[in-house]
Structure 1
Amino acid sequence: MRRYRTSLALAAACLLASPGWAQVPPSAAQISRYTGLHAAAQRGDLAQLQQLLGQKAELNSRDAQGRTPLHVATFARQPQAVRLLAGAGADLGLLENDRYDAVTIAAVADDEATLATLLALGASAQLTTSRYDGTALIAAAHLGHDGVVRQLIAASAPLDHVNNLHWTALIESIVLGDGGPRHQRTLAALVQAGANLQLSDRAGNTPLQLARARGYREMVRMLESAGAK
């Protein structure tokens, strides 16, 4: 029982210090100070972007938070701006100061359209991101963004990456989820994709044990049906 209490306490502590909350979009004050590509990317102003790109503006310039115009366009849900910047040669894999790439930014935002654009343009779903040494898949699984999870799985995201909290995407779908329909669909997608059902947390609890401890009956049923122990 002690190890369950340890896992529950860790999960509670991490709810306010987990990938979804650590990400910092541009503030209104920062946006008001943007110029050049950053400003055009935020607005999704394609004509201005094209003009600036024609003038050889620095594609990967950074704001005070280390965000490139591509990061800003992704935060602003501007997939066409993302496409234009990428086509001009913007680096799709750069991390901003909190170590998020554009794919993880879109994943946390549950922005399936921008994520699909990034992945189609060749952005990687395999990068290690965030202060938790996680992945976009772990961040999306924790938030129950099941459509995003399916996109990332299809893009060969690492199913069994273990972050520095000693959690996988499958574990986060349980310990940082609410057991509801979206987290159930997230878990189902991970199980169907072949995620390891036996990898345990730092206290030695398996996903099945964690789901049982939380009373997530449908998750328990899915895990048991898949052969989890």
Structure 2
Amino acid sequence: MSKARLAALLAVAAVVAVVAACSSPPAATPAPSPTEPAPEQTTEPPNPYTSLSSAEKNRRLIAAATRGRTTEVGQLLDAGADTEARDSRERTCLLLAVTHDRVEAARLLVDAGADPDALDDRHDTPTTWSMSSTTPTSPSTTSTTSGGPALLEAVILGRGTEPWERIVKSLVDHGADVTIADRAGVTPLQHARRHGFVTIARLLQRA
């Protein structure tokens, strides 16, 4: 092949390469990835009791514990209400909750650190409280039985059912003194056995 013919072929090949390069589609630009939506931020409603005075928080905690308003009890505790706030008869919130069968409110107070062994000003009998209260209680005790600590109230005024078993366990777990007896010298364990509360008696015996 002559040099002239070879040069012509090379020239043609070069032109074909240029034309092919010009006619090829441009490289595709990657599509931008869709922007992920920002996670929704859930904000809790403000605590309605935060701005109250300490005295007002405590007053409302006493009322809420007595009536068994557990949501309000929790909010007041979060707002700084005193777990040892007392009514005019020196009964603590925990003692009032137990006396009025407010089991869940009592558990909240115990979990918040309420003293399970706190006494009132007169060591009133559970019978006296049950007669003056509109909340039905059971079982009744003799007039010589002295009330006081929440554990005694939970055994004497409670019904021995599963919710009361849980509150007794919670009180014991948080350090309630199972040896504190009533005025007649009857301990919580003896009361539990007397009323046939087998599970509660077992909890107290193991404490």
Structure 1 length normalisation: TM-score? Answer: 0.55
Aligned ranges 1:1-229 → 2 under 5 Å: 83-84=47-48, 86-87=50-51, 90-94=52-56, 101-131=59-89, 133-163=90-120, 164=122, 165=124, 166-226=147-207
Q: Which amino acid aligns with 1:171?
A: L
1:190–1:85 CA distance, 2 compared to 1 (3 A)? closer
CA contact (8 A) 1:141 1:183 kept: no
What whole-Å deviation, never above 9, does each CA across 1:179-226 have from its counterpart, x for those lacking one?
112111111110111100000111111110111111111111111122
Q: Which amino acid aligns with 2:181?
A: S
Matches of 1:143 and 1:85 in 2, distance apart? Answer: 24
Ranked by relative contact order (alpha carbons within 8 Å, sequence separation 6 or more), the top structure is 1
1:222–1:85 CA distance, 2 compared to 1 (3 A)? closer
Matches of 1:130 and 1:209 in 2, distance apart? Answer: 31
Aligned to 1:6: none
Larger radius of gyration, structure 1 or 2? 2
Matches of 1:138 and 1:182 in 2, distance apart? Answer: 16
What whole-Å deviation, never above 9, does each CA across 1:141-194 have from its counterpart, x for those lacking one?
233433322221232211211222242000000111111121111111101111
Aligned to 1:60: none
CA contact (8 A) 2:156 2:191 kept: yes
Matches of 2:91 and 2:151 in 1, distance apart? Answer: 12
Q: Which runs of 4+ in 1 moved over 6 A?
A: none
CA contact (8 A) 2:62 2:86 kept: no
What secondary structure is seen at the aligned counterpart in 1 of 2:105?
helix
Gaps of 5+ in 1: 1-79
Structure 2 length normalisation: TM-score? Answer: 0.60
CA contact (8 A) 1:144 1:182 kept: no
CA RMSD of aligned residues (A): 2.2
Q: Please state which structure has a larger fraction of its residues in helix.
A: 1
Indicate the percent of aligned positions where both proteins have the same amino acid.
29
